[in-house]
Structure 1
Amino acid sequence: MKKIILFIIVSIFMMPTSSKANEGMWFLMFIDRLNHRDMQKMGLQLTAEEIYSINNNSLKDAIVQFNGGCTASIISEQGLVLTNHHCGYDAIAELSTEEKNHLKNGFWAKSFDEELKPESLYVRFFVRMDDVSERILSKVNDTMSEKEREAAINKEIAVIEKENNEGGKYTVSVRSFFQGNEFYFFVYEDYEDVRLVGTPTESIGKFGGDTDNWEWPRHTGDFSLFRVYTDKDGNAAKYSEDNIPMKPKKHLAVDLTGVKENDFAMILGYPGRTNRWMPAEGIEQNVQYAYPAWVEASKVSMDVMKKHMDNSEDVNLKYASAYAGIANYWKNRQGMIDALTKHGTADKKRALEKKFDRWANKKRNKEMYGNVVSDINAYYALTNDKARHDNYLIGLLRGSKFAVAPWRIGRNLEYFIEQNKAKREELQPRLQALIDDTFKNMYLPLEKDVMVAQLKLYIEKSGYELPAAVKQLKEDAGDDLENYVNAIMELSIFTSKERLEAFLMYPNKVLLENDLLYLLSKDLLAKYRENPEAIATAEEAYSKAYRKFVQGLRVSKLSSVKYPDANSTLRLTYGKVVALPKDARNDAKINNYTTMKGMIAKYKPNDDEFDLPAEVMDLYKKKDFGQYADKNGYMPVNFLTNNDITGGNSGSPVLNGKGELIGLAFDGNIEAMAGDVIFDDKLQRTINVDIRYVLWLVDKLSGADNIIKELTIKK
C-alpha cells in the first residue's frame, strides 16, 4: 500500500503540465511545483511564495470563504469585504423591511456606525494546509469493509483535527481527495462579526434576472460589500458594539487600467463541487433520471412561490433568497442536461472506460482493478429508478417547510413527553427556539400550496414504491388530494406556532401520535434515508470500485485530469481574458466584454428583470463615468475569462499578473454547463463584473466616496 501511495505522489510531481493551462482547480501548496512556470509564461509576475506562504503574508490571506457557500476578498486595511450580490442576498434580505427595503432600494453606510449586523454571518480565513495521506492510509487495508475503512479514517481524522486546532482557536478540516486516495488537512480561522456596508439596488445586482442567468452577453452589477470586525486586540469575536474594524494581514489593491484579450487572469476561491472523475453511467443517470426530476420539481415550487410573492412585497422579501436559490439550480440542472447530451459526455467517458478496462484486465493489474468497471456499472443500473424517485422526493422536502419541520420538531416532542416536569422545563427553551426558527419569515398559504403541489407531483411521477403514509393519504384523498392535504394541515399542531406552544404547556402523547402531518413527515424522511439491502450491497462494491477506478486512472495515466475534484477547499485557477465568437447582441468590438450602452439597450421600465434606477440613465446620458471609463471612452460592465470555476467561486476575486483586483467572478456560460463533469477549453468561460463598474456604482451612482477612500487604487 505504501509503495502505491509513494508512486502516485511522485508521479503527480513528475507529470508534465500538458493539460490546457486554464483547466484545473489547483492546491496553493503545489503551485510552485506544478503551475508556476506556466503561469509566468502567461503573465504572472508574482512568486509562488507571494501567492501562498505559511510564514509570511501572501495572497491567501486576502481570500475568505463567505458564509460557508461563496468566496470573498479583503480589499482595504479596515477589513472591507467584497463578494457577489447574490452571495450577500440572504443577509441583505434579512436586514430589509417593507419600510427600509435594502434589497430593492440598495444601502450604503457612510460611517462605521451605520453598518448593519445580520443575525448570522461569518467569513473564514485560510491559515495553512498539509498532506496527511500516508498517515491516514496507513490505518486502513484492503481486507476492511467500506464501513470499517470509514471508521478507521474518521478516528485518525479526529486526532489530526485536535492536534492542529490550538485549543479551539482554529477550525481544522481533514478532507478526502481523488475519491479517498489522498487526504489533506486545512486550518481555518472564523470571524463572526461581519456587517453590511453597501449593496446596489436589486435591479442592478440581479440585472437580467432568470432570463440572463448563465447567459452571455451579460450586464449585471453582482456585488455587495461587508466588513469584518474584531475585538480591540484584533482577535475573532462575537458581535459587540466595542468591536473594531479588522486590520487584515493582506488586502487586495485595485487596478483600474482595464482588461484586453489574452490578458492573464487568476482566480482564488472556494469552488464547491465538481465531478470530473465521474463514471459514464453516473453521468447517464443524472441526465436521464436525476436531473429531469430535479428540474420538474424545482419548477413546481417556483411557480407556486412566484404567485404569492408577486402579490405581497412582505412575502417577496421573506422568500426572495429561497426562490433565487431554487431558480438558479433549476436553470443549472436543465443546462447540464442539455450540455451533457449535446457533447455526448457519457459516450466519451465510456470510451475512456473501455481503455481502462483493457488495462485493468492485464495480468499485472487484474487482481486490483479487474472488476472495477463492472461493479460501477452494476451499481448505477440498480439505482437509476431510485435516483429519479429521490430527486422528486428532494423537491418535496426542500419545497415546503411542512414536509420536514413536523419531523424535526416532533421527534423532540416525543422525547419531551416522556420526561418529568423538571426535565421538561430544562428542554422547553430549546424547543421554543426551534419553533420560533421554524415560523420565522414563514407565509403559511405559500407553504401549504407548495406542499400540495409537490405531493401531487411526487405521487404521480416518482415511479417508485411510495411511503406508507403517502399511500394512505392517496387512498383517503381519492380525487380530492388538494382539499384533503389542506384539511390535515389545518388540523395539525405543526402548522400553528400557537398550537405548538400550547402543546409544550400541555403535552399529549395521543395527540402527537395521531397527527397526520407528523406521520406523513416521518414517513417521507424515513423514505429519504431508506437504503434497501440490495442497494447497500452494491454501494459497498461501488465505493471500493470507484476509489480504485480513480487510482487506476492516475497510475495508468489514461486520464487527462491531473487535479482533485472541487470540494469547497481553497483553490487557484488561471487563464486569460478570452472572447467568445462575435455575437450580434453585444455592442462591444470584441465579444469578451460588455458596456453600459448594451445594458441600457436591455432596459425595460418597471420590468422585474431589466429595470434600472433613473439615476443610471441620467449618468449614462451625461457620460459621467469619471476615472472608471475605459481608455476608449465606454463604461465597462462585465468581461470574460477562461478560468475553470464552479459554484462556490461566486464572489471570487479576478486578479491580474501582479495580484491586483480587476474583477469579481459571478457566473458561467450555459454553453459550457457540462463543466462540472468535463472541461471544454473552447467554450468554458467565467463571467466577471469589471471592478471599474463596481467602483463606478459605489462612487458615481451611490456617492459612497468614504468607501472609495479606503481602497488602494492603481491606475
Structure 2
Amino acid sequence: MRKFIVSLIAAITLVPFSVKADEGMWFLMFIERLNHRDMQKMGLQLTPQEIYSINNHSLKDAIVQFNGGCTAELISKDGLVLTNHHCGYDAIAELSTAEKNHLKNGYWAANRKEELKPSSLFVRFFVRMDDCSKRILSVVNPSMSEADREKAINAEIAKIEKENNEGGKYTVSVRSFFQGNEYYYFVYQDYKDVRLVGTPPESLGKFGGDTDNWEWPRHTADFSMFRIYADANGNPADYSPNNVPLKPKHHLPVNLGGVKENDFAMILGYPGRTNRWMPAGGIEQNVKFAYPAWVEGSKTGMDQMKKYMVQSDALNLIYASKFAGVANYWKNRQGMIDALTKFGTAKSKAAQEAKFNTWANKPANKAKYGNVVATINKYYAMTNEKSRHDNYLTQLFRTSAFGAVGRGLGKQLENYAKADAAKRAEMAPAIMEMAEEMYKELHIPAEKDILAAQLSLYAKKAGYTLAPMVEKMAKENNGDFTKQVNAIFDLSIFTSKDKIKAFLDYPSEAMVANDPLFVLSNDLLSHFSKRSDELAKAQNDFSASFRLLVEGLRESKIGTTLYPDANSTLRLTYGKVRSLPADKRNDATINNYTTLAGQVKKYKKGDLEFDLPAKVLEMNAKKDFGRYADKDGSLHVCFLTDNDITGGNSGSPVLNGKGELIGLAFDGNIEAMAGDVIFDKKLQRTINVDIRYVLWVIENFSGAKHIVDEMTIVK
C-alpha cells in the first residue's frame, strides 16, 4: 500500500502544499501525503488506510455512485442505500401511478418483498485506481493535431481498460486530469438490481421547491432509500426474485449525537464538474453570453411544462422529473451569473493570466508558452456569439421530447426501414421498448407548446446564424410557430406509439426521410454540430493552449489551485460545521442549523411548495421527537458545513471524525454559486440533512422502525 501511494504522489511533487483546509476535492490515496495532518488537527480520528485501502475494507467501500449522476452510501449490513430524494426522483416517479402515487404520498416497504424495482437503476462501487500518465502521454507528441492526439490516446485507453476489466467483471474508466496533463484509470463494479425501499412524501422530500432551492435557511427531507441486490455469491446480477440483499464490505455507522459549530465534517462523493482552471475568457463568455441564454431557455420550457403539470396528478407525474432537473440548473446558472459578476472572478483570473503571460514570454519559456494566452483569448472572442446560440438550442433539446428525435427514435426508424426482413425482426422489440419509454413521459399538447415556444425564443434571440429551416419558418410566420408546429405534429409518425407500431408493420424509407418532425430535428441537430474550417482550427489551437496554460501555471507556481477539476470520480473534501451570519428567517440559536419549528413556520396550506402533512404539524406541536431530539429539545432538520462540493455530490454522506454518518449533503448556498469556478472560503457552504431528522421521518413520522433497526446506531 505504501509503495502504491508513493508512486502516485510522484506525479504531483512539483505542486506546493500550502492549502486552505476546507478547499479542494481530493483523491483518496493522496490524503496521507497532502491532507491527513490537517484533517487530524481538525478532528479526524481515522488512519488513511481506514479511509482508502485496496486490500482491506475501508470507507470507500461504503460509498457508491448512484445511477451515474449522484452519490449514495451503504448504511446497513443488508445493502441498504441512502441518497437524496432528488437523486431517487426519477425512479420514484417511474414507480408511481395516479392511483399509487409514491412521489406524492411517500412509500415504505413493509418487508423485502414489497421493495420495488424500477426499470433501470444502478450503483457503482469504486475498487481501485492507478496512474497511467506516462503510458498515455508516451503515445502523443506536440506536433500532433488535437484530433490525432485524441485518436492515439483513445487507442491506448482501450488497451488499458481491456487489461484491467478482468474479462468484463469490472468497468474500467481512464480519465484525464489537469486538462490532459495527467491520466488515471479507475476500476469499478456495477450492481443493477437496485430497489426502492422508501421515500418520504414529496411535501417533505421536496419541501420549499424551487423557491428554497440553493437557499438557506433550508428545511427539506431530501432523502430516499434503496437496497442493492446480488446473486447468492454477492456478485452483480440482473433482476431476479432469487437475488439476495448485498452484504457490503463496509457500511456506515449512524451517529445520533448531533453537531455543533466547528465540528469536523468530511464528505466523500462523486462531484460532477468544476471549472477551477477555466481561463478568464471562458468565465466572461459564460456570464455574458452562454448562461443568460441557458436561463432564458430553461424558463421558457419550464413555463410550458407547468401549464400542464398543474392540471392533474397524472400530468404532474409525467413532467415532474424533467421539470425538477431543468429548474435546478435554471436557478444555478442565474446564481452563477450573479456571483461571478459580484466577485469579479473573470477580472481576477485575467490578472493571473497576465502574470503568467509575463512568465511565459521570458526567453526560457517563450517557445513553449509564449502564445498560449493570446490563442485562448482569440478563441473566446470568436465563439462568444456562438455560445449564446448553442445554449438556446441546447435548452430546446433538453426541454422538448421531439427536438432531438432525429438522433434517437428517428435514427432507429431510419435504420429499420433500410434493413432486410430478418434484421427488422431483430430490431422491432427494442424500438417498441424505446417508444414505450418515450411516450409514457410526454403529453402531446404540452410537447407542441414546448417546441413552439422554444423555436420562437431561438429565432428571436439566438443571433449568430440560425438553423436554415427555422430561419425559413420564422420569415413565414412572423415569429409565431404555433400553427406550423401543430401542422408538423399532425403529419408526423413520431407523435404516438400506435403510429410507430404501424410504421414497423409497413416500413418506408421515404416516410421517415420526409417526416416533418424528423426533418426539423435533423436540421436543428445538423446546424448545432456544424463547424467551419476556421472554427475547427481555432478549437484545435485552443485545446492545445488550454492544456499548456494549466501545465505552465503548475510549473510556474502562479496557479493557486492544487487539485484537478471534478469529473465524476470519487473525491474527499473536509471542513467544519460552520454558520453563516445571523438570519432573522432562521429561528435557530446559531445560524448553522434549522429546526422542525422553523419548517412549520414556512407552512402554507395547499401550497405546491410549502404544504406539510397534518401529522407533521401535530407532532411538532407535541414536540414528539423521541430519541432524535437535540439536547436543546428541538428537532434539527438541516445543518451547514464549509465543505467544497458540487453537482454529483448530491446524496454524499457527511461524516464525523470517526467515519460515522451525521448527515446527507444535498445543496449549496446561492451566495457562493461561483463555487464551480472559484472557492469562496468566507461564503461557500454545503447544506446537509441532519441524520436525526432523516431517522425521525422514517421511524416516528412514517412508522417504518424496521428500517432503522437495520442500521448500526451510535448514540
| TM, length-normalised to structure 1 | 0.97
Q: Distance in 2 between matches of 1:12 and 1:426?
A: 51
Amino acid paired to 1:585: R
Q: Distance in 1 between matches of 2:238 and 2:679?
A: 42
Whether contact under 8 Å (2:375, 2:541) holds in the other structure is yes
Q: Distance in 2 between matches of 1:711 and 1:9?
A: 37
The reply to whether residue 127 of structure 1 matches residue 130 of structure 2 is no
Q: Distance in 2 between matches of 1:713 and 1:8?
A: 36
| 3-state SS of 1:401 partner | coil
Whether contact under 8 Å (1:253, 1:714) holds in the other structure is yes
- Offset of residue 498 of structure 1: 1.9
User: Percent identity among equivalent residues?
Assistant: 66
Deviates more, 1:84-93 or 1:421-430: 421-430
Residue of structure 2 equivalent to 1:83:
83
The reply to whether residue 628 of structure 1 matches residue 628 of structure 2 is yes
Q: Deviations over 1:356-392 (max 9, x none)?
A: 0000001111111000000000000000010000000
Equivalent positions of 1:276-355 (< 5 A) are 276-355=276-355
Residue of structure 1 equivalent to 2:602:
602
Equivalent positions of 1:496-507 (< 5 A) are 496-507=496-507
- Offset of residue 406 of structure 1: 4.1
Residue of structure 2 equivalent to 1:525:
525
Residue of structure 2 equivalent to 1:103:
103
| 3-state SS of 2:154 partner | helix
* Inter-CA distance 507–671: structure 2 relative to 1 (3 Å threshold): same
Residue of structure 2 equivalent to 1:156:
156
- Offset of residue 516 of structure 1: 2.0
Alpha-carbon RMSD across the aligned residues, in angstroms, is 1.5
Q: Distance in 2 between matches of 1:206 and 1:284?
A: 33
Equivalent positions of 1:467-478 (< 5 A) are 467-478=467-478
| 3-state SS of 2:65 partner | strand
| 3-state SS of 2:555 partner | helix
Whether contact under 8 Å (1:406, 1:494) holds in the other structure is no
The reply to whether residue 702 of structure 1 matches residue 702 of structure 2 is yes
Q: Distance in 1 between matches of 2:423 and 2:569?
A: 42
Q: Distance in 1 between matches of 2:198 and 2:429?
A: 36
Residue of structure 2 equivalent to 1:430:
430
- Offset of residue 78 of structure 1: 0.5
Q: Distance in 2 between matches of 1:480 and 1:64?
A: 47
- Structure 2 alignment gaps of length 5 or more: 1-5
* Inter-CA distance 14–136: structure 2 relative to 1 (3 Å threshold): closer
The reply to whether residue 31 of structure 1 matches residue 31 of structure 2 is yes
Q: How many corresponding residue pairs?
A: 710
- Structure 1 alignment gaps of length 5 or more: 1-5
Amino acid paired to 1:56: N
Residue of structure 1 equivalent to 2:515:
515
- Offset of residue 633 of structure 1: 1.0
* Inter-CA distance 423–249: structure 2 relative to 1 (3 Å threshold): closer
* Inter-CA distance 55–507: structure 2 relative to 1 (3 Å threshold): same
The reply to whether residue 272 of structure 1 matches residue 272 of structure 2 is yes
- Offset of residue 432 of structure 1: 2.5
Deviates more, 1:61-70 or 1:421-430: 421-430
Residue of structure 1 equivalent to 2:692:
692
- Offset of residue 220 of structure 1: 0.6
- Offset of residue 434 of structure 1: 2.8
Q: Distance in 1 between matches of 2:9 and 2:526?
A: 42
Amino acid paired to 2:681: D
Q: Distance in 1 between matches of 2:17 and 2:548?
A: 24
- Offset of residue 10 of structure 1: 4.5
Q: Distance in 2 between matches of 1:24 and 1:374?
A: 29
Q: Distance in 1 between matches of 2:103 and 2:8?
A: 50
Whether contact under 8 Å (1:13, 1:33) holds in the other structure is no
Q: Distance in 1 between matches of 2:232 and 2:511?
A: 53
Q: Distance in 2 between matches of 1:649 and 1:296?
A: 26
- Offset of residue 14 of structure 1: 6.3
Residue of structure 1 equivalent to 2:224:
224
Residue of structure 1 equivalent to 2:3:
none
- Offset of residue 15 of structure 1: 4.5
Residue of structure 2 equivalent to 1:458:
458
- Offset of residue 407 of structure 1: 4.4
Whether contact under 8 Å (1:262, 1:578) holds in the other structure is yes
Residue of structure 2 equivalent to 1:177:
177
Residue of structure 2 equivalent to 1:3:
none
- Offset of residue 507 of structure 1: 2.2
Q: Deviations over 1:37-81 (max 9, x none)?
A: 100011000000000000000000000000000000000011100
* Inter-CA distance 656–412: structure 2 relative to 1 (3 Å threshold): same
| 3-state SS of 1:631 partner | coil
Q: Deviations over 1:550-596 (max 9, x none)?
A: 00000011111000000000000000001101111111111111111
Amino acid paired to 2:83: T
- Offset of residue 512 of structure 1: 2.9
Amino acid paired to 2:560: S
Q: Distance in 1 between matches of 2:480 and 2:634?
A: 60
* Inter-CA distance 475–516: structure 2 relative to 1 (3 Å threshold): farther
Whether contact under 8 Å (1:93, 1:103) holds in the other structure is yes
| 3-state SS of 2:160 partner | helix
Amino acid paired to 2:663: G
Q: Deviations over 1:630-666 (max 9, x none)?
A: 1111110000000000000000000000000000000
Q: Deviations over 1:133-158 (max 9, x none)?
A: 11111111111111111111111111
Deviates more, 1:501-510 or 1:366-375: 501-510
Whether contact under 8 Å (1:115, 1:196) holds in the other structure is yes
Whether contact under 8 Å (2:9, 2:30) holds in the other structure is no
* Inter-CA distance 586–476: structure 2 relative to 1 (3 Å threshold): same
Q: Distance in 2 between matches of 1:639 and 1:579?
A: 9
* Inter-CA distance 102–479: structure 2 relative to 1 (3 Å threshold): closer
Q: Deviations over 1:294-348 (max 9, x none)?
A: 0000000100100100001101011101000000000000000000000000000
Whether contact under 8 Å (1:407, 1:518) holds in the other structure is no
Deviates more, 1:357-366 or 1:403-412: 403-412
* Inter-CA distance 479–187: structure 2 relative to 1 (3 Å threshold): closer
Q: Distance in 1 between matches of 2:629 and 2:9?
A: 48
Residue of structure 1 equivalent to 2:576:
576
Equivalent positions of 1:475-486 (< 5 A) are 475-478=475-478, 480-486=480-486
Whether contact under 8 Å (2:453, 2:481) holds in the other structure is no
Whether contact under 8 Å (1:8, 1:555) holds in the other structure is no
The reply to whether residue 358 of structure 1 matches residue 358 of structure 2 is yes
Q: Distance in 2 between matches of 1:14 and 1:543?
A: 23
- Offset of residue 9 of structure 1: 6.3
Amino acid paired to 2:503: F
Whether contact under 8 Å (2:304, 2:450) holds in the other structure is yes
| 3-state SS of 1:375 partner | helix
| 3-state SS of 2:403 partner | helix
Amino acid paired to 1:627: R
Deviates more, 1:394-403 or 1:446-455: 394-403
Q: Distance in 1 between matches of 2:415 and 2:226?
A: 42
| 3-state SS of 1:306 partner | helix
Amino acid paired to 2:668: G
* Inter-CA distance 197–479: structure 2 relative to 1 (3 Å threshold): closer
Equivalent positions of 1:549-568 (< 5 A) are 549-568=549-568
Deviates more, 1:8-17 or 1:466-475: 8-17
Residue of structure 2 equivalent to 1:618:
618
| 3-state SS of 2:364 partner | helix
Q: Distance in 1 between matches of 2:475 and 2:125?
A: 54
* Inter-CA distance 168–350: structure 2 relative to 1 (3 Å threshold): same
- Offset of residue 272 of structure 1: 0.2
- Offset of residue 534 of structure 1: 1.1
Which 4+ runs in 1 deviate beyond 4 A? Answer: 6-11
- Offset of residue 497 of structure 1: 2.2
* Inter-CA distance 97–633: structure 2 relative to 1 (3 Å threshold): same
Q: Distance in 1 between matches of 2:504 and 2:120?
A: 27
| 3-state SS of 2:140 partner | coil
* Inter-CA distance 240–519: structure 2 relative to 1 (3 Å threshold): same
* Inter-CA distance 513–434: structure 2 relative to 1 (3 Å threshold): same
The reply to whether residue 21 of structure 1 matches residue 21 of structure 2 is yes
Residue of structure 2 equivalent to 1:542:
542
Whether contact under 8 Å (1:13, 1:34) holds in the other structure is no
- Offset of residue 253 of structure 1: 0.3
Q: Deviations over 1:136-181 (max 9, x none)?
A: 1111111111111111111111111011101100000000000000
Amino acid paired to 1:594: T
Residue of structure 1 equivalent to 2:47:
47
The reply to whether residue 94 of structure 1 matches residue 94 of structure 2 is yes
